């Protein structure tokens, strides 16, 4: 059995109506996607300060799934007739039946951060059994090691964490950075996030990796000082949270900031320079890692 995937270009003010109408016309499913996903124009929508409302992008693809026998031209004509839209741009793809679990798993191999640090999905064996291997499956919370910002932060932690140092992971997502810090020898490690799902995911992943990390919702966290602070979140949030993150870092402590695009680097760096001696930035693709040392008398 096979299905037809119909993808139609849509604006932010037409995507919802288009999706709902396709469902009423018999679509098996309909989703709205960022038309610029996986490009430098990708638009992260998380409701952060200065960002558009969460849940919709300016340029969209409405993707609807139909039985293989669908008359695509007639479906698009019916859609235009019911919505009043015209000259819709669309494409189609045949989706063959397959083992979806195996197909999904095949996309995720172990990820090498360094020779001694790997991210390993549960369905794989560790490529280097003697390395620090973080067991982590792709899930609802951000952070599997595959995104450049996560990779940058993990590599920095391997160079920065030493036995007994305390670490704060602000915006912990899947908990991957906090778990890595603990496995690298850190002492007290705390993870914070604004998303309850992220906290649950982090707790589960910590248990899977047999490490003890304290994870808190941001609303319940009481500020403390740490030797190392790492925050892999949106640049807009990093800008707003700068005083709080600076306060959470001990004098002489280290900070790492990611989730920053190259064009945002100078603005974010200038904000944190009030409290930190900033080091040269590190880059992967369009993404930046900013690091610094907390001034003794900022």
SS (H, E, C) the chain: CEEEEEEEEEECCCHHHHHHHHHHCCCCEEEEEECCCCCCCCCCCCCCCCCCCCCCCCEEEEEEEEECCCCHHHHHHHHHHHHCCCCCCEEEEEEECCCHHHHHHCCCCCEEEECCEEEECCCCCCCCCCCEEEECCCCCCCCCCCCHHHHHHHHHHHHHCCCCCCEEEECCCCCHHHHHHHHCCCCCEEEEECCHHHHHHHHHHHHHCCCCCEEEEHHHCCCCCEEEEEEECCHHHHHHHHHHHHHCEEEEEEEEEEEEEHHHHHHHHHHHCCCEEECCCEEECCEEEEEEEECCCC
Q: Indicate whether 214 and 278 sit together in one domain.
A: yes
Q: How many domains does the chain have?
A: 2
Q: Indicate whether 248 and 121 sit together in one domain.
A: yes
Query: In the listed set 54, 79, 97, which residue is the last one of a domain according to the structure?
Result: 97
Range of the domain at 25: 2-97
Q: Indicate whether 58 and 119 sit together in one domain.
A: no
Residue 49 confidence (pLDDT) = 43
Query: In the listed set 48, 79, 97, which residue is the last one of a domain according to the structure?
Result: 97
- Asked if the structure places residue 52 within a domain, the reply is yes
* 298 residues of the chain, pLDDT tens digit each: 688 999 999 888 888 899 999 999 999 999 888 876 666 655 554 444 444 444 556 788 899 999 988 999 999 999 999 999 999 999 999 887 655 555 555 556 788 889 999 888 887 788 888 989 998 876 655 566 678 899 999 999 999 999 999 999 999 988 999 999 999 999 999 999 998 888 998 999 999 999 999 999 998 888 899 999 999 998 999 999 999 999 999 999 999 999 999 999 999 999 999 999 999 999 988 899 999 999 987 6
Query: In the listed set 70, 97, 124, which residue is the last one of a domain according to the structure?
Result: 97
Write the CATH number for 10. Answer: 3.30.70.120
Q: Indicate whether 123 and 263 sit together in one domain.
A: yes
Q: Indicate whether 155 and 277 sit together in one domain.
A: yes
Q: Indicate whether 55 and 129 sit together in one domain.
A: no
Residue 38 confidence (pLDDT) = 60
């Amino acid at each position: 059995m096979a299905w037809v995937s119909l993808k139609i270009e849509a604006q932010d003010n037409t995507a919802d109506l288009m999706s709902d109408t396709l469902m009423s016309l018999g679509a098996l499913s309909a989703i709205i996607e960022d038309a610029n996903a996986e490009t430098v124009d990708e638009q992260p929508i998380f409701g952060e300060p200065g960002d558009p409302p969460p849940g919709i992008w300016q340029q969209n693809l409405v993707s609807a799934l139909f039985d293989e026998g669908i008359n695509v031209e007639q479906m698009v004509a019916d859609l235009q007739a019911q919505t009043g839209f015209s000259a819709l741009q669309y494409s189609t793809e045949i989706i063959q039946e397959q083992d979806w679990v195996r197909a999904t798993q095949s996309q995720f191999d172990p990820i090498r951060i360094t020779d001694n640090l790997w991210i390993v999905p549960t369905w794989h064996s560790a490529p280097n059994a003697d390395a620090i291997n973080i067991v982590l499956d792709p899930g609802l919370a951000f952070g599997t090691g595959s995104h450049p910002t996560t990779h940058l932060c993990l590599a920095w932690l391997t160079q920065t964490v030493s036995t007994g140092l305390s670490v704060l992971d602000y915006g912990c997502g899947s908990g991957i950075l906090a778990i890595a810090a603990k496995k690298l020898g850190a002492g007290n490690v705390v993870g914070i996030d604004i998303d309850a799902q992220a906290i649950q995911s982090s707790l589960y992943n910590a248990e899977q990796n047999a490490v003890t990390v304290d994870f808190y919702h941001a609303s319940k966290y009481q500020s403390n000082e740490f030797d190392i602070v790492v925050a892999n979140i949106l640049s807009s949030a990093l800008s707003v949270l700068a005083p709080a993150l600076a306060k959470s870092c001990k004098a002489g402590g280290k900070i790492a900031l990611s989730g920053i695009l190259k064009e945002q680097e100078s603005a974010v760096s200038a904000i944190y320079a009030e409290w930190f001696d900033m080091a040269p930035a590190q880059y992967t693709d369009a993404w930046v890692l900013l690091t610094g040392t907390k001034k003794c008398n900022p």
